[in-house]
Copies of this chain bind each other. A is one copy, B any other.
C-alpha cells in the first residue's frame, strides 16, 4: 500500500516546531508494510489544507494527516477535508456528552464552549479513539475506497491513536500479499563515503534487489540497505544476503549495525577482557568521557579521567614534562603519548586514551591547522599514537576526535584478539 502524509500547521511551516510526527509515522507504517511515497507540510488555512490533501488524494488515494484537530479557531482540518468529500459537518452528540463528562470529572469545571467544535464531525465519518486527549481522530472514506485519516498534532496523542486505532485499521486492509519496507544499517568509521564506494565497487548500485545508501555523519559513514516491495520473510532474507555480501568487502571498518554506538561496542570488548578505561582530554574537554559514561552500566569499565585543558594541568595531573610541552607544543605526538601514559598511571587503569588537538575556530597555524588532532592509546604499557586531520567546525572536530579515539581502542583490541587467537 502506498500512502501520503500531510502534516498541518503554521508552526511546522514556519520552522518553530521540528516535525517529529512525520518520522514516527513513517517508521511505524513501514514496519507493517506501508510505504509513504510523499510527505507534504502545509499551513493552517482552509485553502492550503484542501489543496494539499486534495492533491495527495488524487495521487495516492490514501492520506494520513496530523494536526488541526484542536479547539482553537485555527484548527480547520476537519471542515476543509469534509468539503473535499462533499460532506457536511454535523454535531456528534455522543462525543459532546463524553467531553462534557470528562471536563466535569477530570477538571471539575464546565467544558469551555470552544471545545464544542471538537464534537463537530464530517457526516459519515468514523471516529478514531483518543486515549490521551479530547479530540477524536477521523476516518473519512468515499464510495471508491479513497480515504483520509486525520490524527491530532500533539505527538503523544498522535502516537497513541496511531498504535491503538489507526495501524490496526490500515493493517486489516493489507492483503496477504502485503509487502514491507525494511532496512539494516552497517555503521563504519574512519573511512570516507567515497573510499567505501571504492571498496564496495560494483555493489555500490545496490546489492541485488537491495538498495544501498551512504549516510555520512560526524561519527562515520553508515551504509543502509533497504528492501522494498517484498513480503516480510523475503525482505529479511534479502537483507541478510546483502549484509553477508557487503561485510567481507568493508570488513573491519564496520563497528556495528543499526543503532550501534561505538562507545557501547568498545565497552563490551573491554568488559569481556577485564580491561578498565580512563581518559585524558584536552581539546575534547570531557566529551570522550561523556560519551563513554552515556552508556548505562559503563561504571564497571570506565574509572574516570583528567580534563587537561591548560598546560599546567597536563603537567600537574598527567605528569607531562613542561620541557616537552615547550619543545613540541601541546598538540604533538610526544605530548599525546605522555598524556595517555600519565592518565593510565594517575587514574589507575589498564587502558587510557588521550586526545590533544586544535578544534578551532582560533589557534591554528600553518604547521598545525585547525583540525589537527593527536590521539594516543596506552594499553598496559604499549603506546600508540596517530595524527588526524579532522574536517568540520569546532563541534564536529571534537565529535570526530572522540569517535576516532574509541575506534583506536576498538582496533587495538581486535588486533590483540586476533594475535591471541593465532598463537
Contacts and interface: CB of A to CB of B under 8 A. Distances in A.
Nearest to A285: B293
A362 interface: yes
A181 B72 contact: no
Contacts of A269: none
Contacts of A396: 156
A73 B395 CA distance: 29
Interface stretch (A42-50, A141-149, A171-179): A42-50
Contacts of A287: 286, 289-290, 293
Interface in A18-63: 18-20, 22-27, 30, 36-44, 48, 52, 55
A302 B309 contact: yes
A347 B309 CA distance: 10
A393 interface: yes
A17 interface: yes
Interface stretch (A194-202, A320-328, A377-385): A194-202
Contact of A313 (B290, B348, B394): B348
Nearest to A301: B309
Contacts of A132: 392-393
Contacts of A421: none
B394 A197 contact: no
Contact of A307 (B43, B55, B226, B304): B304
A72 B197 contact: yes
Copies of the protein in its oligomer: 2
A213 interface: yes
Contacts of A17: 23, 215
A72 B204 contact: yes
Contact of A22 (B41, B43, B292): B41
Contacts of A226: 10, 14, 16
B73 A204 contact: yes
A165 interface: no
A219 to B, nearest CB: 13
Contacts of A37: 13, 42-43, 48
A410 to B, nearest CB: 19
B303 A313 contact: yes
Given A23-B17, A313-B303, A285 B296 contact: no
Best-surrounded residue of A41, A42, A302, A304 (most CB of chain B within 10 A):
A304
A289 B307 contact: yes
A306 B309 CA distance: 11
Nearest to A293: B285
A154 interface: yes
A301 to B, nearest CB: 10
Contact of A13 (B36, B224, B346): B36
B40 A39 contact: yes
A131 B36 CA distance: 34
A15 B25 contact: yes
Interface of A: 10-20, 22-27, 30, 36-44, 48, 52, 55, 70-74, 106-107, 112, 114-115, 132, 154, 156, 181, 183, 193-195, 197-198, 204-205, 211-216, 224, 226, 279, 281, 283-290, 292-294, 296-299, 302-310, 312-313, 316-317, 346-348, 360-362, 389, 391-396, 398
10 contacts: A15-B26, A15-B30, A16-B226, A18-B23, A39-B41, A72-B194, A286-B305, A287-B293, A293-B307, A305-B307
Given A114-B194, A156-B393, A297-B362, 6 more contacts: A39-B42, A72-B197, A74-B213, A289-B289, A294-B395, A316-B346
